[in-house]
């Protein structure tokens, strides 16, 4: 990489002051805080006047083979190398300079005034808050991965890879030329982001597969930039599907779990099946565990792609809480089907209440499509925006009827506590 991190005189000043006044520096407790607004030059605003209904995504990415009767991929000692050779041309390394917020604590610690530490007295003085925390921002350096999905230079990655970036550089598999990139859209709720370079070549792109068709035990490959080792590939299995996020911030994404090694720096890289199709975006690890990695299903990305393109990710609010119906509930409500979502709560003055929904109503279809499980419903809700109309098929009192409603903007308190459009 040819770019260098900008020198931070504010950081030098803080170090100097720390020598004079007992200053200490630490990370703040909220690393997900947004420090760079969408007015920053790092954001590409070409689609800011476009609405979701104006977008046609049919040809925005390449589609894999959707058939159910595909020939299985034969395995030999070169199977993975053939797939890797084809896929790696579209995998990129992403280097960013980003804003980070830290706390500088100014003041003289009481124990610094004592010539020696006196056990009882020093222990008491250690808890006295004589130092005052003063937050400040400085530039840091990070790395991650991504992959090309469009011949015009659009790249998918994780939101946390490019969050708070002020400078983004993309390096292709050859590692010789870097390209500046801008952010098209970023969605922290699903940890996805779309960035763009201006290529002076015809890039290789990766087709999207169907993550819903993955099976436990199916073989996959993960590619990325783990720990700075450029364009590495690991193999493994789909260990599980529809996993709840391994940390509390990801409330609405059900992950693919894989034992293919995913290390820091691999985030944003593709998880591909043996047909060379992307089935997920490598995104999370549990640091204390081994061979447990997570990826965002590519079908989730398909659903939120329109939001990423226009750079607007506010979700619509419906104001109803639902859960999968249990056999006992179905028996009590005389519901004859094995699948459905039962309404557990309806918020006052919400679109759900205005549409006439009640507790114990059963949702059998969403926008004319069946809902086989909660994971599919959550994914559909992720793509809904304010002012969007939805159609529900409801079972109540042994009768089925249709309900239509228009989603609203959430109030600030609701944005924190309510799930999107649920």
pLDDT of residue 112: 56
109-118, 279-288, 322-331: least confidently modelled range: 109-118
Strand segments, DSSP code E, in 216-340 are 219-224, 232-244, 254-258, 270-272, 278-285, 293-297, 320-324
Mean pLDDT value across residues 45-55: 88
pLDDT, greater one: 60 or 51 = 60
pLDDT band at 123 (very low <50, low <70, confident <90, very high): low
Q: Is the pLDDT of residue 248 over 50?
A: no
pLDDT of residue 5: 39
Mean pLDDT, the chain, rounded, equals: 82
Most confident of 134-143, 159-168, 256-265: 159-168
Mean pLDDT value across residues 285-314: 87
pLDDT band at 52 (very low <50, low <70, confident <90, very high): confident
Which residue is associated with the tokens 């959430």? 410
Domain 320-417 has CATH 2.30.42.10: yes
CATH number for the domain running over 35-96+141-310: 2.40.10.120
pLDDT, greater one: 337 or 114 = 337
Q: Is the pLDDT of residue 381 over 60?
A: yes
* Residues involved in catalysis: 160, 191, 267
Q: Is the pLDDT of residue 105 over 50?
A: yes
Query: Percentage of residues in the chain with pLDDT exceeding 90?
Result: 52
Distance CA 373, CA 309 (A): 28
63-77, 154-168, 173-187, 371-385: least confidently modelled range: 371-385
| The Cα angle at residue 270 between residues 266 and 273, in degrees rounded to 5 | 130
pLDDT of residue 410: 79
pLDDT, greater one: 119 or 171 = 171
Distance CA 180, CA 171 (A): 9
Same fold, 35-96+141-310 and 320-417: no
Mean pLDDT value across residues 143-160: 95
CA trace torsion 23, 26, 29, 32 (10° rounding): 130
pLDDT of residue 27: 47
Domain ranges of the chain: 35-96+141-310, 320-417
Mean pLDDT value across residues 289-293: 76
Q: Is the pLDDT of residue 15 over 50?
A: no
pLDDT of residue 122: 57
Distance CA 220, CA 209 (A): 12
pLDDT of residue 131: 55
The CA–CA distances, whole Å, from 308 to 27, 58, 59, 284 equal: 29, 15, 16, 20
pLDDT of residue 417: 37
* 217-246 tens-digit pLDDT: 999 999 988 877 777 899 999 999 988 766
Contact 194, 47 (CB under 8 A): no
Which residue is associated with the tokens 């053939």? 82
């Amino acid at each position: 990489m040819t770019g260098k991190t900008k020198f931070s005189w504010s950081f030098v000043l803080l170090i100097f002051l720390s020598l004079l006044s007992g200053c200490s520096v630490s990370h703040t407790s909220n690393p997900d805080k947004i420090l760079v607004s969408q007015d920053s030059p790092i954001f590409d605003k070409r689609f800011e006047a476009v609405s979701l209904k104006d977008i046609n995504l049919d040809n925005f990415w390449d589609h894999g083979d959707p058939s159910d009767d595909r020939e299985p991929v034969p395995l030999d000692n070169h199977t993975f190398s053939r797939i890797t050779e084809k896929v790696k041309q579209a995998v990129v390394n992403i280097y960013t300079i980003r804003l980070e917020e830290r706390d500088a604590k100014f003041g003289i610690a009481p124990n610094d005034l004592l010539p020696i530490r006196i056990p009882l007295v020093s222990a008491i003085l250690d808890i006295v808050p004589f130092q005052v925390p003063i937050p400040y921002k400085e530039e840091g350096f990070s790395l991650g991965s991504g992959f090309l999905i469009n011949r015009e230079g659009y790249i998918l990655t994780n939101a946390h890879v490019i969050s708070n970036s002020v400078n983004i550089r993309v390096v292709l598999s050859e590692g010789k030329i870097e390209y500046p990139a801008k952010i098209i859209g970023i969605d922290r709720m699903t940890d996805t982001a779309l960035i763009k370079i201006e290529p002076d070549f015809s890039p290789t792109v990766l087709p999207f597969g169907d993550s819903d068709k993955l099976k436990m035990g199916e073989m996959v490959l993960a590619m990325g930039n783990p720990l700075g080792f450029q364009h590495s590939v690991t193999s493994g299995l789909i260990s599980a599907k529809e996993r709840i996020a391994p940390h509390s911030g990801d409330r609405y994404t059900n992950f693919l779990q894989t034992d293919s090694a995913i290390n820091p720096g691999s985030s944003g890289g593709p998880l591909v099946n043996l047909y060379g199709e992307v089935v997920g975006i490598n995104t999370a690890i549990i640091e204390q565990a081994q061979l447990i990695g997570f990826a965002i299903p590519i079908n989730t990305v398909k659903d939120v792609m329109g939001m990423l393109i226009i750079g607007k990710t506010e979700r619509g609010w419906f104001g109803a809480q639902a859960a999968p119906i249990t056999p006992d509930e179905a028996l009590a409500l005389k519901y004859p089907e094995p699948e459905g979502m039962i309404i557990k709560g309806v918020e006052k003055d919400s679109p759900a209440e205005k549409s006439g929904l009640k507790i114990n109503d059963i949702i059998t279809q969403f926008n004319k499509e069946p809902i086989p499980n909660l994971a599919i419903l959550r994914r559909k809700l992720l793509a809904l925006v304010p002012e969007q109309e939805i159609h529900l098929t409801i079972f109540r009192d042994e009768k089925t009827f249709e309900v239509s409603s228009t989603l609203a903007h959430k109030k600030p308190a609701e944005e924190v506590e309510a799930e999107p459009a649920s």
